[in-house]
Amino acid sequence: MPDEENPTLTWRDLLDKSLELGLGAVVLTKQSVSKLVEELVAKGSLGREEAKNVVAQMLERGREEKAQIERLVTQVAEKVVERAGLARRADLEALAARVDRLERRAESSQDTPE
């Protein structure tokens, strides 16, 4: 992190800050990461080889953040469905299969003479 002696941000500080702000998976596309890194290379803050590594690291962390957000959203959605008492797709499919079986049974019992 920057301090009083060195007030400039390093690429790692920038990466950490952007992810702390929750922008990782949402904002860090390959194009935006590459543009940011190219600016750091142009300013001499970053070498070419290091730039490739930075892009790869930022994109990987972005993917990890995205996966984490997706897991969180799924968990929240499942809780909402459960609390609201809503049927899940599997519940509806099982119910439809049961109705089909009962209808066939009812039809077959009507077809047989008494």
Taking the alpha carbons at both ends of the chain, their separation in whole angstroms is 88
- Cα 97 from Cα 102, distance rounded (Å): 9
pLDDT in tens, 69-89: 888 888 888 888 888 898 888
Backbone angles phi, psi at 112, to 5 degrees: -85, 135
Q: Are 28 and 18 in contact (CB under 8 A)?
A: yes
The overall pTM is greater than 0.85: no
Q: Looking at residues 17-38, what average pLDDT do you find?
A: 65
- Cα 69 from Cα 22, distance rounded (Å): 10
